[in-house]
Structure 1
Amino acid sequence: SQNYEAKEGYRLSRYNWKITEEEIAACFWSPYNAPPKRSLMATKYGDFGWEPNETYIFELSYTANKILIKIDGEVIFDYNGCFGPGKVGFYCMSQLKTHFQNFSIKSFLNFTHEPTSACVNEEVSFLPYYPVCSDLPYFVDSLYWEFGDNQTSTELFPLHYYDSDGTYDIKLTVYKEGDCVDAIERQIVIKKNPLVNLGNDTIVDACTTISLDAHNPGSEYLWSNGSVQQITDIYMIKDTSIYVDVINNSCAASDTINIKTHTLPISELKFPTAFSPNGDGLNDKFHAVGILDDVAEFNMQIFNRWGQLVFNTDSVYEGWDSSYNGQSSPTGIYIVKVNYVNGNQCTGLQAFSYNGSFTLVK
């Protein structure tokens, strides 16, 4: 009817001349806010009226958080906000012989969930299409969720977790005064999380390399050592914890392994019981024998039988050739005292002392 009256909500009017801001304010109103007035006029239908002898297909979607208007399939008004229940009126103030016909109005149910697909044990938030702005639509006083895994809820905005992968049928049923008003079903796909197992905590020898495999080929990897490969090699020096994050098909999993290092035994230095400085190239010097490169600190003192210090060095690579005060020392028994620190990052460091005697032979 040309004289249909809208007592609530929006009035939508069309003129065949360009109207002013004041006229917009008079002809378009909302109980909530003003911006839709200007948005509605900023269309090809906003400045001028309907064309004579034309038929227009007018579509309106009105929800608690959106008003969407289409004319001949073209969106001319799309506004998000918070809207209460209301009515929409159609007016023709300047063009007579305009008829509105074939009206069809339907209240329908819908819902969404975030994320649209989820992983096992990931939080899924279910939302009716009227959330945020109002508690329930006017034609509903209760609702009932079925999540497809024998779990249900009567909350408006339920949170749910699925403990196994698969496709689940979700159903939302709404009631008014105890009677079923409407029901809608849709599906959600729950994806499997990658299975990550680095193995049991273990003990390895220090200064050895171990390989860890995160499995799940084709996934994205991030190891605590910075590697992004499926397999990473770890050179073990000290106790450490290694973890990896694995992402496959947008689903993530992680694992940690604790690895202790077994310190290798430290090799002590050996010292000969005799030497012969006769220039034959064999045993011409008295010196330490062993893995000399691992010695961190070293001091060796040699005394003759009268207790005189005949040789002193802080270098593990230096030996005594029997010289003392510019002369070769005589044959006999000599006392040696050695203090040193031996070891490396694999064995650790340890202090040692050696006190003994040796024979100078000529």
Structure 2
Amino acid sequence: MAIHASVRYPVAFVLSLLLPLGLQAKHIIGGVMTYACLGNDTYEITLKVYRDGNCTDCAEFDAQAFIAVYNCSGNCSGESQATPFVSLNAPLLDVTSVERPDYPCLIPPNVSVEEGLYRFELQLPQSPESYFIAYQRCCRNVTISNIIAPGDTGSTFFTEITPEAQQVCNSSPVFNEFPPIIICAGAPLEFDHSATDPEGHQLVYSLCSSYDGGGNLLTDPLYLTCDGARPGPACPPPYNTINFLGPNFSPTQPMGPQANLQIDPNTGLLTGTPINLGQYVVAVCVQEYDSAGNLLSTTTRDFQFNVAPCDPTVEAVVGSAEITEDQEYVIVSCGDNTVNFRNESFQESFIDVYNWSFMVDGQEVSFDEWEPAINFPDTGTYFGNLILNPNTLCGDTADIRVEIYPSIEADFSFEYDTCTAGPTVFTDASVSGSGQITDWSWTFGDGGASSEQNPVYTYPSPGSFPPTLTVTDINDCQDTYTLPIEYFPVPELIVIAPSEFIGCAPADIFFNNLSTPISEAYNITWDFGDGGTDTTISPTYTYEAPGTYTVTVDIVSPVGCQTDTTFGNLITVLPSPVAGFSFTPSRPSNLEPLVSFFDESTGATRWSYDFGDGRQSVEPSPTHEFRDTGVYEVRQIVTHPSGCQDTLVQLIDVIPQVRYFLPNAFTPNQDGLNDEYLGAGVLEGATNFRMVIVNRWGETVFETNDPFDGWNGRKSNAGDFVPNGVYMVLVTFTGPRGDEYEYKSAATVIR
């Protein structure tokens, strides 16, 4: 018997050495296989496999589906995986994402499903036995809720071409749409699971069993066996159905009895209301019968329902209202029977119908505006609702309570003395239609506050203030009223400091204005009694000449109130001496340390000198010897007969000087006289001393860094005596203040 497949491959077992083993295979969430008769015993087989698109560390679609064809009547006991009727490797043709369902008023979580497509042709001669074309793969999604050990449970997708179907060149029905990949928990499900049959045969739908296939073995050589994760090729029937978690789950109640999942056998309409969150394996079978009632084919679609919480996007919200614990919106209107409602419902783009309804005088009154202005006939309580998209899944309702109360009006007056600082008396004049005001809340505009009905308040400082009264009545209705006040009185008493002053000229005096109330807004004029004036609140003024002075202060408020005070003989300024002295020499030194000071002060009767080195003198013109070099701060303090003093400070720099001399000849003949060449002078504080002596050929005959080390006429003071003659001498050193010194001379050696 001739067997032909349009795509021929070696038996799949030979590929086992080429496959990556150990890859997680937990990814399958469904599949379906259908066939179409092309004529001449040729069939086109279509396999669709579905996987979890969000699965991590999971297997992808098989690049080649290992397909087996068995020719038997459902129990192929005489055949095995090694001896199928025919086997082939069908390539993966396409991978697409299954479209998510559109929930117009719900936001489902992110779920992704991918579809892998395999399609191939087979030539199968007519046979009195059925042809079973099968593909097997492990494993299913590990998070499935309704079957036992889902991570170890595989799938078998197959189609049976019965002898009756072969005789009439029948094609199996094909499901029209893929079920929704997400179902919102608590939302009614209604899905058209119908199929289309090319020949128009009668179709009968039912909830049925899914089939297991393959195992969880991932290692070679078992990977491609019937117990392995990827049987290659598929094993022969009969195929085992999957094991549901009983008693709550079964093929006809795959989502539990609460979901009440049902399918219309004639139309394929799948209905129910999934309640429990989770992932559920569901299978739908469609049986095809000819006009004589013969069963031609059964097509099983295996898929996974994902039941998830979905957030609503339509919500009825009433703005500017208090929400009670019972989720009731409460709107209170005091003195106004017309309520302007604010509709803050969302998402507005999904809201097609909105209706406001209230019970007024026992009758329901409705409004279909988005934000109506509703006039209620009288004070009282009115109950109503805002209803969005009534009688739809996208609907929502807000309960509303409107309280209409009598009006309340805040009012008050005040009294105070415009020019004299003192208390302000506030008088409440508020009224309420309820007849009972319960609370008064005053703020005086400067941080002060009161809860009395008629408070008395003293402003501590002047200014323009906005006193405000808020009143509340027995219905919690409130009203607020503000009445500005200009509070600019002049001080009842002008107080300044100092209250008396006696001091020496020149006298710098800070006049502190302690009067209250005053501010920068007031016009203030000071007259200091010597012709000087100022306009600041608290000035500082200098009296240059001795004398007694009267001070006057004049204050005018921003509203024209005026006051002034004269402080007679407030200030007494005493005469002061003027310190002054000179000294010689102008540049004393360690060589000339004696300094003579000459008094040049005026008006002094006593003198005091501090020389800055711990010693003093009270002579008018003393003489002082500085014992060390450096800069000294010499201070002269002179005293007037009035007792006033003056001080003069001058800096005196005692310079450290050096003196150094080199001889021009010496006689190193060891007679004890002039046997050594050595410089002389004053080198106190000098550093970096260096003496170099060279002969006429430039050869160094002596060198030292010690100013007290002389040359004895020998080379380096240790060799032979140098011959008589003239030698060049160079001496350098750094002075006490960093000055560089250099001395050159000619030294003549004579014996």
**Structure ID, larger Rg:** 2
User: Highest relative contact order (Cα 8 Å, sep 6+), 1 or 2?
Assistant: 1
